[in-house]
Amino acid sequence: MATLSRHVHQVFINFRGKDLRYGFASHLIDALERHNIKFFIDTHEQKGRDLKHLFKRIEEATVALVILSTRYGESKWCLEELTTIMEQAEKRGMLVIPIFYKVRPEDVRKQKGVFGDRFWRRAKESCPKEMEKWQEALKAVSNKIGFTLDHNR
């Protein structure tokens, strides 16, 4: 009898907590729970903790929701998770759905505007190799079909 691979979390939610945890993300979580969709969100994660356990959650997921906001690019955690998500999309076809929350896909793609300003501040504290992989991941995710939520929604 064949054993089927069972994913613990169907959806991995990648977002900048300072921007969205008690607003947009909380509404999204409520909707996922109402529809019995299993998801992982880093609500109880401790700053400075090893990211390996988060990468495991990404590997378990079949879908990643990447919620890009103005402060997203200042978070090394978000950028590292995004890099892993995009690797999983390439390696095993994980479905990645970007949600551009009050940022334009073009600003994410080219790291400009308010999004870019914050990203480049993070860049000053990072090595060129990290920057290159983050820029590649941001470009790849911004080229995917997703949702754009502007200031009026």
Tokens of 85: 């998500």
Catalytic residue among 33, 81, 90, 132: 81
According to the model, what pLDDT value does residue 4 have?
41
Task: Give the model's confidence band at 2: pLDDT under 50 very low, under 70 low, under 90 confident, else very high.
Answer: very low
Domains of the chain: 68-153 (3.40.50.10140)
According to the model, what pLDDT value does residue 45 have?
57
In this predicted structure, the answer to whether residue 6 has a pLDDT above a threshold of 90 is no
Mean of the pLDDT values across residues 32-58?
Answer: 77
The whole-angstrom separation of Cα 56 and Cα 78 is 15
pLDDT, the chain, mean = 86
In this predicted structure, the answer to whether residue 132 has a pLDDT above a threshold of 80 is yes
Q: Is 130 a catalytic residue?
A: no
In whole angstroms, what separates CA 104 from the centre of its chain?
Answer: 15
Question: Locate tokens 């992982």: which residue?
Answer: 40
**pTM to 2 decimal places:** 0.86
**Number of residues in the chain:** 153
Task: Give the model's confidence band at 151: pLDDT under 50 very low, under 70 low, under 90 confident, else very high.
Answer: low
Range of lowest pLDDT (27-36, 43-52, 62-71) = 43-52
